[in-house]
Chain A
């Protein structure tokens, strides 16, 4: 592969969503030679879809708000396997990161006193769960992700960040010592394959909701970063933890934000009953997402679903009035009209729990450094590899993420990774160069597709994978179903290894990109399936009929999936925050 062009950078950031752009901004300001590599133009990244807001104790709605209350909610929401040092870092650094966004120009909605508007979201409390519902989610109407992503892109333009737009990262390049020293990338427009060398490689590739047939996620959310890391042999953490959002639009999968319920909307069954009052007497419709999603499925299973097939419930908003809807939820009005054919000012929206967010991912410390385990089970840093955003598992979300905490995670840990890399580069990073055979190893997968002549087609295999995941690894899970799912995935892997890329052309070949994405969906699906099968308890978003209870004796742990052996190990959860007392695990009620 010696004739391949190569580019060299101090740092590359794979991903131009909120987390990648926040990391890039830090590095661009430091003057390090940095590039952002993104398979879509940055403002087309999935962050643009985020609606409801960014949760942070900026003490605007409530001048007495306290980041420690936010931390408590986060740890409880995560069913106690969020790392408390990471949650502490995110919640305490959060206000700084949010104010920075405002200073950069983010058009937040405002209260009359001119401060940032905050709305109530699920799982939020005052005074460590004792003081009632909090309103802690900072919002730009219901287009917060759009406002955030565009603001970050604009500020990267201001700071002259180098962008490699519509470049597709294929695989990581490792040197003889196992350090990550860059990646192989495809310039989609021309089809050229380039070896991108770097002292620090940040995976900010976002989520992978497309492993499910029904998802709120963009079509590009195929878990490429997770796939690359797994193929490079690195472990994945808590991959069984997938969030199903209560309010995906029935039939379409598009999301309507939890902010709808924050603004006063609520769910009803076919009898018009506000059923969440039965499942969560205090928080009602603003209980944790896992709790609400399960309650909805229970209603449907017990025959109280709505519609001809009784397979969904309704989200009622009409009582809020046209004015509130127009001011606070204008995007939701648009989406409901387009995808549900209802005007929420007049009729309820049909909704159903829909795959939404990957709590698991590449395990990292608070600096974004990827970690793996040595033979004795101790954490070990992976040289050269970093991760942030949804692709990372730092872990602040544990077994269930709270609404609005992802956007905060993106900017806090994107920034932290940027700062850490700048420091490390200043001290000097010197890894062994990759040899030709190291580069060839990273090229193997791409070459396989390019040389394929005959075999099954990519869209068919993708649809099968999504059905397997949807049927066996949904809101409720059980052993025999999952066993079957794991077996089917193993067969599917064989078939994908022999699948066919029909179009071998160079210029803007989206069929090639979709083929490469299919491999990544496969990696994520299998990691999810095996982790879900092996975690024999119910916690947060992971609910099993056969193990209905939380098991703190055996499973107050992160799971760690090792790709080479396809086995599940465990990793300790951090219970030692620096400035506050540990939040001890309690029974989780809302």
Chain B
């Protein structure tokens, strides 16, 4: 049996008054395709289907979506990992406005990223060569810098759903900690001052949805814990 039942969320603001699910029968020829390959096959049946994609290898973060109830990247999710009872249901990332079909408006997600000042700050004049950093200090950035801004985490986080304008969310906080943890960054106290209100960090309830879905295996909850520790240490 190689015909897969695929159900895709469709919405075109120009023609549809409300979103609906469209059903496709996709012949997988028995292969364990990636979900993105299946999307290409549905688009061959209906060219009006819209979704984002670029690298097709899990490094650009374009194709975060909800597959059978779980957020992830379509291009590195094999059918064997998500399909149940021969059925695949594809929806846009939850909690963000839908532009069309599986394409969401990432504006608020990017805004929270920008808010944490995601760039190295160091006003000491740079040497003629690189700034030195020990391998041990560099190791502290592992598990942080690899984020691909796919938004799988933040859009699975209940705290972000309720307060997307005030709670930075797991992705932004992971990046905030990436700079706090960098031995070359000099803006630690300014960064912390920006985060000490009751919402930015403290809305995290430790539910760990973010960790469960991150396709890069990163751990925003741990990073958030570290920021909390720094904030509390700062306060005393």
- With a CB–CB cut-off of 8 A, which chain A residues contact B47? 457-458, 502-503, 511
Could you tell me if A505 and B48 are in contact, using CB atoms closer than 8 angstroms?
A: yes
Q: How far is the CB of B153 from chain A (nearest CB, A)?
A: 16
Q: B126 interface residue, CB < 8 Å from A?
A: yes
Interface hit among A105-113, A235-243, A410-418, A483-491: A105-113
Identity of the chain B residue whose Cβ is nearest the Cβ of A138 in the assembled complex: B130
Which one of A40-48, A301-309, A445-453 is at the B interface? A40-48
Minimum C-beta distance from A158 to chain B (A):
4
Query: Does B132 contact A114, Cβ atoms closer than 8 Å?
Result: yes
A505/B14 in contact, CB under 8 A: yes
Contacts of B132 in A (CB 8 A): 110, 113-115
A110, B149: Cβ atoms closer than 8 Å: no
Please name all residues of chain A whose beta carbon is closer than 8 Å to the beta carbon of B146 when the two chains form the complex: 143, 146
Count: A-B pairs, CB below 8 Å = 146
Residues from chain B with a CB closer than 8 A to the CB of A49 are 55, 57, 59-60
Identify the closest chain B residue to A501 (Cβ): B47
> With A and B bound together, what is the CA distance between A227 and B236 in angstroms?
62
Which residues of chain A are near B185, meaning CB under 8 Å? 105
Docked CA distance A102–B129 (Å):
9
Which residue from chain A places its CB closest to the CB of B144 in the assembled complex? A107
B-side interface mostly: loop
Cross-chain contact of B138 among A45, A103, A110, A334 (Cβ < 8 A): A110
Give the shortest distance, in Å, between A534 (CB) and chain B (any CB): 33
Contact bitstring B114-148, A, C-beta under 8 A = 1, else 0: 10011110100010111111110010010001101
List residues of chain A with CB within 8 A of the CB of B134.
Answer: 110, 112, 114
Shortest Cβ gap from B56 to chain A (Å):
6
* In the complex, A440 has a CB within 8 A of chain B: no
- Which residue of chain A has its CB nearest to the CB of B138? A110
User: Total interface residues on B, using CB and 8 Å?
Assistant: 54
CA distance A48 to B135 in the complex (A): 23
Of the stretches A149-157, A175-183, A344-352, A376-384, the one at the interface is A149-157
Q: Kindly specify which of B21-29, B99-107, B200-208 makes contact with the partner chain.
A: B99-107
When the two chains form the complex, which single residue of A44, A46, A505 contacts B61, counting CB atoms closer than 8 Å? A44
How many Å from the CB of B112 to the closest CB on chain A?
Answer: 13
Instruction: State whether B13 touches A507 (Cβ < 8 A).
Output: yes
Q: Mark A486-525, 1 if CB is under 8 A from B, else 0.
A: 0000000000000000110111111100000000000000
Which chain B positions have C-beta within 8 A of A109? 135, 138
Chain A hits for B78, CB < 8 A: 338
* A564 at interface, CB cutoff 8 A: no
Q: Is B44 an interface residue (CB 8 A)?
A: yes
Across the interface, which residues of B come within 8 angstroms of A58, CB to CB?
129-130
Give the residues in chain B near A507, CB-CB below 8 Å.
12-14, 99-100
CA distance A525 to B54 in the complex (A): 21
CB within 8 Å of B: which residues of A? 40-41, 43-46, 48-49, 58, 95, 98-99, 102-105, 107-116, 140, 143, 146-147, 150, 154-155, 157-158, 189, 218-220, 254, 331, 334-335, 338-339, 457-459, 502-503, 505-511
**Can you name 28 A-B pairs with beta carbons within 8 Å?**
A40-B52, A40-B60, A41-B106, A48-B55, A49-B55, A58-B130, A99-B130, A104-B119, A105-B119, A107-B138, A110-B135, A113-B132, A114-B133, A114-B135, A143-B59, A146-B148, A155-B119, A218-B55, A334-B58, A457-B47, A503-B48, A505-B12, A505-B15, A506-B14, A507-B13, A507-B100, A508-B101, A510-B50
Return the 4 tightest CB-CB contacts between A and B, nearest first: A105-B120, A114-B132, A102-B130, A154-B119
| B contacts, CB < 8 Å to A | 12-15, 43-44, 47-48, 50-62, 76, 78, 99-101, 103, 106, 110, 114, 117-120, 122, 126, 128-135, 138, 141, 145-146, 148-149, 179, 182, 184-185
